[in-house]
Amino acid sequence: MSTHDTIDADRRRLVGAAGAAGIVALLRPGTGLATEAHAAMPPAEATAGFKPDIELELNAVADEIRVLPGNATRLWRFTGRVLRGNPQALSFLDGSGHIPVIRVRRGQKLRIHFTNRLPEDSIVHWHGLHIVQRMDGHPMYAIGSGKQYVYEFVVNNRAGTHWFHPHPHERTGLQVYFGLAGLFLVGDDEEDAARLPRGEFDLPLVIQDRSFNDANQLVYLAPGMMARMMGFQGDRVLVNGSAEYVRPVARAAHRMRILNASNSTLYSLRWSDGRPLTLIATDGGLLERPLTRGSLTLGIGERADVWVDFSERQPGDEIALAAESWSPSLENVTGLQTGAAPVSGGRPIARFRVAAGAARKSVLPQRLSAFPALRLEDAVNRGRPRTVQLSMQRGQAMLNGRAFGRMDEVADDEKVKLGTTEVWEFANDASFGMRMAHPMHVHNLQFRVIERSGPGHALSAGFTDEGLKDVVLVLPGQRVKMLMKFEDYTGIYLYHCHILEHEDLGMMRNYLVRA
């Protein structure tokens, strides 16, 4: 595996050289940061036997977009078009228009021709999808500049709000920050039967924080290890790529699909008029029944779908979604953890103006969905959870004392058996090192959170632990137990902290599903 060593050494040198000052230069095409070396894996190509229902072209490109008044902002973005199938299968969000949305239905076959037009390696990961290893966008499949990777897969997931983003080794944080992230929305018959708001009444809200310099250019992380450990916090919160998100809404019920696609920032969300939030779905799709919460806390990568009814409001009324931003450091999350969080209501990040017109009444069904219950008694290790200790020390962010190593490295305690159910436990209570909140993500499956313990585990913090999940926020001192079932596919998949700077630091490991 000496090729990997060379690639890794090379990249480390390049990442070090990029620093903060290099970032703006980095975004100019042809600045020479392109790595010639890319993964040893041959890129997947289109296969003749696969007959897609939907075929898309998707490119990662450098571009400029006007985000703030004045100069346009240089960024990276996805472009693309529908080659076959439903013309609505790919669209771009309102706001600044550069965030793509892929809409598909469960059971559909997808072919996506991804072309990397960035000056460095990249690969796209479908966050939330249950998918064969070769299509999951593991960094081992990263392709070089100008190269193409053809994804072919069946959408196995039930209806839900998923997303996609690059996943190259040590560059995920930077590539997402500079604009590469999109939504992947799955629909199905069960969701149709719940008669939830659709079309213009179904609003995705992608939350990301950014910092801009005087020339309106994006500023990423300060140089040095400490900045990576602390993670990146921007001074503005963007919604759907827009610094001032305002949207007219009809006097009717809406579904809002909220995604925290920030690099490191956690948010507590509230309605500005004090009404509770009606939660209808989490990461893996609809809940069994709606829940109400005073506030919702979203870790990085987490999704929450909320239902909101504007029919009682008068034309001209304005209701805002307000967000309190939290850096994941211990000092910062203490308030969140003790429930003593400032109930300032936070800053409005998305404002909804009620338009003129007749009010349309609608009723939220009390039964939304049913999903196969994972049962603790089915777990092969019910009394002995597979514990993953989270820790940060001496510039290293680790899982059970190990950082991401070789692309295909799997330790003995990271092997699970196909078809089994296990209890895993993320333990964020190391007695040494730096203490931070870590939103932990597992690829390829949706799990159930069965227990959260430790300081601040109470619901007042607004965790979205219900339903099916692929990210769980673990605050300092806490332990979270989950049930997961390894189904359908053998292979290597990742589990990692979704603070993108931690992931890039190596707070990520492979697990192997073996036959």
Where do contacts with ligand C2O occur on this chain (CB under 6 A)?
A: 125, 127, 165, 167, 301, 441, 443, 494, 496, 498
481 makes contact, choosing from Cu ion, ligand C2O, none, with CB < 5 to 8 Å by partner type, with: none
Residue 193 CB neighbour total at 10 angstroms: 12
- To the nearest whole angstrom, how small is the minimum distance from the Cβ of residue 179 to Cu ion? 18
Smallest distance from ligand C2O to CB 167, Å: 6
Segment 406 to 445, residues that bind Cu ion, using CB under 5 A: 438, 443
Specify the residue, 439 or 477, whose C-beta has the smaller distance to ligand C2O. 439
Residue 499 binds Cu ion (CB under 5 A): yes
Nearer to Cu ion, 215 or 222 (CB): 222
Residue 205 one-letter amino acid: L
Q: Which of residues 124-143 bind Cu ion (CB under 5 A)?
A: 127
Choose from ligand C2O, Cu ion, none: what does 499 bind? Cβ within 5-8 Å by kind. Answer: Cu ion
β-pairing, 182-187 vs 160-166, is antiparallel
Q: How far is CA 373 from CA 130, 285, 356, 378, in A?
A: 17, 14, 44, 10
For residue 331, the minimal CB distance to ligand C2O (Å) is 26
Q: Where are the beta strands (DSSP E) in 52-201?
A: 54-65, 73-84, 90-92, 100-105, 109-116, 124-127, 148-154, 160-166, 182-187
Q: How far is the CB of 106 from ligand C2O (least distance, A)?
A: 20
**Nearest residue (beta carbon) to Cu ion:** 497
* 150 in Cβ contact with 46 (< 8 Å): yes
Half-sphere exposure of 141 (CA within 13 A, CB side): 23
| 502 interacts with, out of Cu ion, ligand C2O, none, CB within 5 to 8 A per kind | Cu ion
502 binds Cu ion (CB under 5 A): yes
CB of residue 82 vs Cu ion: minimum separation in angstroms?
Answer: 24
Integer angstrom CA distances of residue 50 from 2, 7, 85, 110, 394: 35, 33, 14, 9, 48
User: CA-CA distance, 197 to 360, in Å (whole number)?
Assistant: 12
Q: How far apart are the first and last CA of the chain?
A: 24
Nearer to ligand C2O, 127 or 509 (CB): 127
Nearer to Cu ion, 56 or 475 (CB): 475
Smallest gap, in angstroms, from Cβ of residue 503 to ligand C2O? 7
Query: Choosing among ligand C2O, Cu ion, none, which partner's interface includes residue 167 (Cβ < 5 to 8 Å by kind)?
Result: ligand C2O
SS (H, E, C) 312-369: CCCCCCEEEEEEEEECCEHHHHHHHHHCCCCCCCCEEEEEEEECCCCCCCCCCCCCCC
Task: Report the residue number, 138 or 293, with the smaller CB distance to ligand C2O.
Answer: 138
Give me the phi and psi of 378, to 5 degrees please. -85, -10
Nearer to Cu ion, 123 or 499 (CB): 499
Q: Which does 494 bind (CB under 5 to 8 A by kind): Cu ion, ligand C2O, none?
A: ligand C2O
Which residues lie across from 152 on neighbouring strands?
A: 111
CB of 395 to Cu ion, least distance (A): 14
Rounded to the nearest whole angstrom, what is the least distance from the CB of residue 124 to ligand C2O in the complex?
11
**Amino acid identity for residue 114 in this structure:** F
Report the SS3 class of residue 22: helix
Which residues of the shown chain bind Cu ion in the complex (CB under 5 A)? Answer: 127, 438, 443, 497, 499, 502
